Amino acid sequence: MLAGAGRLEEARELLAKAVAEMPPDPRLWHNHALVLLDMGNHAKAEALFFGILNRWPGFLPSYKPALKIIRTKMLSGHSSALVRQLSVVLNNEGNALQGVGDHESAARAYREAISQDDGYANAWANLSNSLRMMGLVSEAESSARRAIALHAGHAGAWNNLGCALVDQGRHAEGRDAFGKANQIDPSGLEAKHNSESGTLFNLMFEQNLDDAGFLNAHVAWGRSLLPVPGRPRCRPDFPAAPLRVGFLSADFRQHAMAMFVTPLLQHLDRSSFEVFCYAANENRDGVTALIRSLPLAWRQVHGMDDNRCAELIRNDQLDILIDLCGHTSGNRAAMLRHRPSPRSPPGLYTWQPRDIRASTSASPTAIPIPVRTAMRSTRNG
């Protein structure tokens, strides 16, 4: 209000005091930078804007003034450093837009980054992801291959190539690409998922795989997850009511799974059930906020290692833990080896035939299919 009334110095003093005394907040820093910019203190404003983007790369409002600052400088001369800075900031803006689901705007930002630096492999890899999310899978493949041509050791580009290939039904090629990504960077969670558990999900759509091969792949993967020694903590008063029920998911957000499970969470009789939600999702939105507002215990487990996550669940002394992930992205199958709960049903599934092609079989084999859709994407900074 003070800045809008032209009282810039008073606004600057109040904002500077708030920035110094309150916990770090991108909105405070952003407003402080805007006031400094209006006062003509361009150096300090620039430092704040770029400080925001380094600390909170998903904070979209600071990209516009930061990009304007770079472009203004470029009017005096296109140095290679400024061109590189502009392409990096545009790429990161694309990541932020992608993070809120604005794939078309993200693609525009990536394309502009590429127009400044055609050899920027990260921007090509990220453009591949946006194009795939827009349904342009052939273009997504081409973008990923361009990134790989620029940087053969780019794990994210190999992963995104695998995603584009799988979306075209080229599963064997996709598995090879995922394997290459995992080989380059074994710590990459998306590539690790796609080359291991996520592959089992994609096998449902393999045209040349019979039921025995499908089963054998699942059995082999299951045997790779050896149980971890340890016992869940059972309540001494079990089965006294209310039962403690936990739901584990990476999709407590705008997602098909959340549309399915949110009414259940809303209407479970709290006199009979005490509800716990273990959120493995990084992105949060209005659906996340809605679920958190319900009478339940919320546990954020994204980024938590398997031991800590299992111990957290164990300490809640659940009676039942329901896994909503199956073989989809963000699943915590490795953590479930620790047996954090005495009872863990296999999750909420729908049943339908795996083989949906024309068949002479009167009773096609029914395979459990997770209610959510696999997300196989990687963004690169």
CA 371 to chain centre: 18
Query: What helix, strand, coil percent values describe the chain, rounded to 5?
Result: 55, 10, 35
HEC per residue, 217-229: HHHHHHHHCCCCC
Q: Residue 8 has what pLDDT?
A: 63
Count CB atoms within 10 A of the CB of residue 258: 21
Helix pair 121-133, 155-167: axis angle to 10 deg: 20
The per-residue pLDDT for 15 is 66
Q: Is 15 exposed, middle or buried (0-12, 13-18, 19+ CB in 10 A)?
A: buried
Backbone angles phi, psi at 45, to 5 degrees: -65, -45
CA end-to-end span of the chain: 36
What does the CA dihedral 117, 120, 124, 125 come to, rounded to 10 degrees? -160
Which domains can be identified in the chain, with CATH numbers? 243-351 (3.40.50.11380)
Q: Return the pLDDT at 1.
A: 53
The pLDDT value given to residue 36: 79
Alpha helices by DSSP H, listed for 100-225, are 103-116, 121-133, 137-150, 155-167, 171-184, 189-195, 197-202, 211-224
pLDDT at residue 368, rounded to an integer: 32
Strand, coil or helix: what is 126?
Answer: helix
- The answer to whether the beta carbons of residues 20 and 12 sit under 8 Å apart is no
Distances in Å between the Cα of 114 and the Cα atoms of 24, 59, 71, 354 are 33, 22, 16, 41
Longest dimension (CA), the chain: 80
Other Cβ atoms less than 10 A from the Cβ of 100: the count is 13
**Coil, strand or helix at 199:** helix
192 closest CA partner among 147, 222, 162: 162
The predicted pLDDT at position 16 comes to 74
Q: What is the pLDDT of residue 237?
A: 65
At 354 the pLDDT is 39
Phi/psi class of residue 338: alpha, beta or left (left: φ > 0; alpha: ψ in -120 to 50)?
alpha
Write out the chain's pLDDT in tens, 381 residues. 555 555 566 666 676 777 776 777 888 888 888 877 777 778 888 888 899 899 999 899 999 999 999 999 888 876 888 999 999 999 999 999 988 889 999 999 999 999 999 999 999 999 999 999 999 999 999 999 999 999 999 999 999 999 999 889 888 898 899 989 989 988 777 777 777 777 777 777 777 778 888 788 878 877 777 667 666 666 666 666 788 999 999 888 888 888 889 999 999 999 999 999 999 887 778 889 999 999 999 999 988 888 899 899 988 988 889 888 877 777 777 788 778 887 765 544 333 333 333 323 232 333 333 322 333 344 455
